[in-house]
A and B are shown apart, each in its own frame.
Chain A
């Protein structure tokens, strides 16, 4: 079928609008159950973190908390934001910039026993980089550490 020019433009506009709406609906569907929520140890302490769903947990690695497991490839540590403390377990090679008193984000799930089982650890990529969500906490924490 050949459409009149006006109608052809109309069809194209409608298609474009439909594509846009489609994109947004698809995105909303995807976000409804796949957006990984960012939580802080404080949230976990206050019970504001769901058990058994994908989450990102961000905080500072507590001083003296890093423990290597006997299998040689697992590590346990505590993420803190000065208020809450969450034990984290991870199997794998931790990123190079993962260390005590430094920011890290664990991706994984919170278990019923309160331990966070991470399947990925993100440490800062640039020595000046700090996740914005943690910028304030870290600054406070460091001031407190210095004050001690």
Chain B
């Protein structure tokens, strides 16, 4: 009965979303009934949560009479993977998506008090319309509660590659981020409908965008680290379409985050901000479409299913197209924002937005180009790292240069920017560039990357200069830490691209290999067993100077379904990571791959700093704006 209850809850939520949309559209003629929009949104959210909770329960019980559970779970699996198995598949992950969408709408209805009521109702109407499409998708094309008769005795299990604690919580984090942007989208649509595009909208939108952006950042960084240690490839970004699918909304959200600040603080960039809110969520939907449709060659694609692909494509066209049409019709009536000069904080933020948009554009073109080419000429191509590195690399450097000076400029106009303040970071940049010539082999791009990163790290602290650090608002700390994070991550990326040393060999027991500054002795192998796998474990001892470290990489074999995975053994030092993988047996020799990756941890450390900065800014905003209603005059603009 659990599955039937879950399905019923889903249908009920669907009906409530329909009601919510109807009420919002007709609210002007409804009198007191219009106050029902918010409670209906809350009820819809609760029912969807219930439906998702029931699906999780089915997975925890391994109820194989449900097709989805039978296909994706196994009672012998550790508890946490029976739990995460609920969203480690197409139907479950789409239910998670809708759940987050509905819950976000409910939360908005509960907490938002600063928007004009009319705008809030229109926003909840837009959120209901979004939910309707995805409910329809689930109920028509991807019902997670379908029964299987006769029920098999045992399920098929979860792909072992997905059996990793990091991965269990990676998709929900990303989805929270993706779908958090749906609120920004709905707020933009609501503001366009009621012609209330202004600082009030921006302030209502800001915490959602900040929250979504923090979660997206964490999701991307965690996914990157997962790929790095779990796949045993030693790489951290592959420009795979599915990775791009998460990067594109992140780029749009980053631009949005900066333009919202201009709109909230200064009233400028109204049309641009609304546009970015529409683009950011559209990128989330494009991401979902790319992952779910299987139209692109990706190592992550779940299923090749044209019906599902075209359904999501239909939703994408309807929502994005509808929002853009509304934008075109209403934008002329959006009030002018406050003026500013080109050399000003606003000007720098516009530059930041333009560069981010160009990066987004090149990633977008590169990701979708194969689809377009195949549609036009039938020729099958794929675009890979050479393209993405060549186009985005230089743009990131330009962005870093804008980051030097932007935070130092004043709002509105800065006719004589204090150039002396950036002299320090510029000197640091030049010195760092000179230093890179210690390694004559390095390419120009990593050299410049390291130099700009050093300069940016120095420049990012300048906004704190002359302030009382204990009284500095959290939002300023957030900006400083995020910008520092960009510098740290750039350092890691440039170091990984230019300083990594690799040794690949088939080694006999007792053999000693060299990689970078390390001597690695191969001491043999042992069979080991886990809860649902067996493995060959290699024993390595790495020495550098007086330190000796044991490393035990494994090559694992899972029986259900039959799969092999590599568990890299990694040791983290202050100056980098030693990364070891054991491969196949070749007679009396074993394949070993050793990498010495100086400063590689900076990539994820930087990512963590970026997310931490966003979190601090979010806390700062919520604290500052709590219980402080906008003056009426401002709320009307």
Which residues of chain B in 342-399 are interfacial with respect to chain A, using CB atoms and an 8 Å cutoff? Answer: 342, 350, 354-355, 357-362, 365-366, 369-370, 379-384, 386-387, 390-391, 395
A126 and B506 contacting across the interface, CB-CB below 8 Å: no
B357 and A23 contacting across the interface, CB-CB below 8 Å: yes
B357 and A20 contacting across the interface, CB-CB below 8 Å: yes
- Find B358's partner among A22, A73, A94, A135 (CB 8 Å cutoff): A22
Q: Which residues of B contact A37 (CB under 8 A)?
A: 379-382
Q: Which residues of A contact B297 (CB under 8 A)?
A: 38, 58, 105, 131-133
**Count of A interface residues, CB-CB < 8 Å:** 55
For residue A145, CB closer than 8 A to chain B, the reply is no
Q: Which residues of A contact B302 (CB under 8 A)?
A: 126, 128-129
- Find B504's partner among A27, A28, A93, A127 (CB 8 Å cutoff): A93
CA distance A23 to B358 in the complex (A): 5
Q: Nearest CB to that of B593 among chain A residues?
A: A93
Could you say which of B56-64, B580-588, B627-635 contacts chain A?
A: B580-588
For residue A63, CB closer than 8 A to chain B, the reply is no
Known: A105-B297, A126-B302, A132-B295. A30 touches B358 (CB 8 A): no
Which residues of chain B in 280-334 are interfacial with respect to chain A, using CB atoms and an 8 Å cutoff? Answer: 294-297, 299-304
B354 and A27 contacting across the interface, CB-CB below 8 Å: no
Nearest chain B CB to A86's CB is how many angstroms away? 16
For residue B4, CB closer than 8 A to chain A, the reply is no
Q: Which residues of A contact B102 (CB under 8 A)?
A: none
B339 and A97 contacting across the interface, CB-CB below 8 Å: no
A31 and B303 contacting across the interface, CB-CB below 8 Å: no
A31 and B383 contacting across the interface, CB-CB below 8 Å: yes
B296 and A30 contacting across the interface, CB-CB below 8 Å: no
Q: Which residues of A contact B370 (CB under 8 A)?
A: 38
Q: Which residues of B contact A82 (CB under 8 A)?
A: none
B159 and A19 contacting across the interface, CB-CB below 8 Å: no
CA distance A105 to B240 in the complex (A): 14
CA distance A125 to B339 in the complex (A): 52
For residue B561, CB closer than 8 A to chain A, the reply is yes
A5 and B387 contacting across the interface, CB-CB below 8 Å: no
A128 and B303 contacting across the interface, CB-CB below 8 Å: yes
B591 and A73 contacting across the interface, CB-CB below 8 Å: yes
For residue A2, CB closer than 8 A to chain B, the reply is yes
A36 and B386 contacting across the interface, CB-CB below 8 Å: yes
- A84-99 interface code vs B (CB 8 A; 1 in, 0 out): 0000000111111100
CA distance A2 to B338 in the complex (A): 12
Q: Which residues of A contact B272 (CB under 8 A)?
A: 12, 16
Which residues of chain A in 8-46 are interfacial with respect to chain B, using CB atoms and an 8 Å cutoff? Answer: 8-9, 12, 15-16, 19-20, 22-24, 26-31, 34-38, 40
For residue A71, CB closer than 8 A to chain B, the reply is yes
Which residues of chain A in 88-115 are interfacial with respect to chain B, using CB atoms and an 8 Å cutoff? Answer: 91-97, 105, 107
Give the one of B354, B365, B380 with max A CB within 10 A. Answer: B380
Q: Which residues of A contact B301 (CB under 8 A)?
A: 126, 129, 132
CA distance A40 to B381 in the complex (A): 11
Q: Which residues of A contact B386 (CB under 8 A)?
A: 34, 36, 54
Which residues of chain B in 564-606 are interfacial with respect to chain A, using CB atoms and an 8 Å cutoff? Answer: 564-566, 581, 583-584, 586-587, 589, 591, 593
Q: Nearest CB to that of A124 among chain B residues?
A: B299
For residue B434, CB closer than 8 A to chain A, the reply is no
Nearest chain A CB to B74's CB is how many angstroms away? 13
A31 and B369 contacting across the interface, CB-CB below 8 Å: yes
Seen from chain B, the residues whose Cβ lies within 8 Å of a Cβ on chain A are: 159, 161, 232-233, 269, 271-272, 294-297, 299-304, 336-337, 339-342, 350, 354-355, 357-362, 365-366, 369-370, 379-384, 386-387, 390-391, 395, 413, 504-506, 555, 561, 563-566, 581, 583-584, 586-587, 589, 591, 593
A-B contact pairs, 21 of them (CB 8 A): A2-B341, A16-B272, A20-B357, A20-B361, A23-B358, A23-B361, A30-B391, A34-B383, A34-B386, A36-B382, A36-B386, A36-B387, A38-B380, A54-B384, A73-B504, A94-B583, A96-B232, A97-B563, A128-B303, A131-B297, A133-B297
19 further A-B contacts with Cβ under 8 Å, apart from A5-B337, A16-B272, are A9-B271, A12-B272, A19-B361, A20-B357, A23-B357, A27-B369, A30-B391, A31-B365, A34-B387, A35-B382, A35-B383, A38-B380, A72-B586, A93-B591, A125-B300, A126-B301, A127-B563, A128-B302, A133-B380
Seen from chain A, the residues whose Cβ lies within 8 Å of a Cβ on chain B are: 1-3, 5-6, 8-9, 12, 15-16, 19-20, 22-24, 26-31, 34-38, 40, 54, 56, 58, 68, 71-73, 91-97, 105, 107, 122, 124-133, 135
List the 9 closest A-B pairs by CB distance, nearest first. Answer: A72-B506, A23-B361, A27-B365, A93-B583, A34-B387, A125-B299, A96-B564, A72-B586, A23-B358
